[in-house]
Structure 1
């Protein structure tokens, strides 16, 4: 065995002492800071390269390693969540739609929060939600809160609307099936402003294809709509009937009863402007 290899093996099997370290009564090297062993004996009668002991972590070395690992895991988690959110939303402002930032005035906040908290059960049972009600009462915001809460758990989510989808699926688009399959690979798909898309025959066919593919994927869907529930339950034509039938079989309808927050915001801005102009 060459001296170089011997030195390498010696370093591998020998604990490196610090100035304050000491030899304990059991003959092992101890840390001078935490007073726990930096060495451990091999099982009785066992040796490696002529040594009866091997390096071991003392308590402060273990704590330092765990702290480094926790910091690295936190960095990895933050990067993963940031990447998920960048892909989930077309508008970066939606990354701030969180339960922590909620004003607490929406009566349906608790339902949305519990959906996110019980995501594993919702996913296993393939339970989605249809948030319906008047405009401006927080349906989209709470859907975004669910999305952000799940992505904090590193669950991929995609939130879009049919105006965007139909813009992508133009009549000349050749990758329709792959595009829709990609949408339906997300564990949770959120479609905002459902029912506001244009009602051409081609457009309705694409809407049905997306909803039907999601239905067959056995993955949850959350949709928001300003349409009355009765309109969804009793459509006047076959094209809409096929779409709404699939939608209601996937999503539990939840009526949003809060005030119109957008109108409140507009009123507050108007009052502020009046005060400034009066001054």
Structure 2
């Protein structure tokens, strides 16, 4: 007698739940173990090797070419690189030139230790002068919110540079010129509106003294103060403020607030001058002759 075979229906697979994957990932993060000091050091060292791999390759290729260490097996360096590494002549030249760019950035990176991690990121910089390389790279890092910029971002800034050359700071000011800071961003934003004194014009940047620190800025961050009185008085006011701030144990919040205020005034009113004298007496730095600039 024929038997009816009933096919058992298997349950439908559970729908894909992206949130469950996120939860699983978060759980995985929670169970990760901490690294000890040696492991942290090794991780940092190995990460640097990964990041600088193309730079190390470029330096090694440059030495192989300079010392002609390929001569025992190949007549030309180009043939050696093609046979040994599968590198074309153009790629080898990019690696060598790129490593030289990175070395330049390491020597003079402005306010940042963010360095390239691939040859393509620096390819557009090769034809630039060293100072231009550093300036363009810094702009690219800023455009990438403090991260390693892509080659596309770097190339875009280089193209802008060709249309509008960078302002030469050395032709913009002289030592002792006074300015007001503008358009600063990030941690230095708080100094916008402060007056500063130029102490070292470089090729594309200027080192300036503000009331409580030293900054490296660009010409576009400076508005010139043309007042002869400001040129005469501000260096002395800076000296007086610095002398008070450098006194061991300087912590009084009222004095601190007043000095911050004076760091934004291009002259002192008679009352501000009296207040500064009181602060100087309090901290025992009265030997600088005061000068009212109302």
- TM above 0.5: no
TM-score with structure 2 setting the length: 0.25
Higher relative contact order (CA 8 A, sep 6+): 1
TM-score with structure 1 setting the length: 0.26
Q: Which has the higher strand share?
A: 1
